Structure 1
Amino acid sequence: MECSDEQRALVSLINALEGRFPGRSRTEVEDAVCEEYAAFNSGPVRTMVPLFVEHAAVKRLRGSLL
């Protein structure tokens, strides 16, 4: 996955999570995605990064609702 493809996937993820978590601000969603992305950013295999980020960001956003 090229960097531009990865970035587009992350923007798409932010938009989707914003719809899934209407009680959260866009900034909170962006922060969750960006922080989770940073944890996966150093790996050499890039294809699955957006999926891993989505899973971790959803878990974080759900947990912060409690």
Structure 2
Amino acid sequence: MAKITFEVDNKQLNIVLTILKNLKMGLIKNLKVEEKPVVQNEEKASSSICTNSRYISKEEFKARLKKQR
């Protein structure tokens, strides 16, 4: 017996499964789905102030104003 393996995006999984299930009865003996969990990289906002930034923080701006006076 031959095996066919598909790699499908999670977005398209339901469409592919629907197509395979609608094939003729007896054409496919066994249908297995191995869903792998989607790894999402969440960017965490850093609380530190970036010194290479184009803009300065509110506190630093006030400190510079006080120095100029």
- The TM-score normalised by the length of structure 2 is 0.29
More helix by share: 1
The answer to which structure, 1 or 2, has the higher relative contact order (CA under 8 A, 6+ apart) is 1
Could you say which structure has the larger radius of gyration?
2
TM-score of the superposed pair, with normalisation by structure 1:
0.30
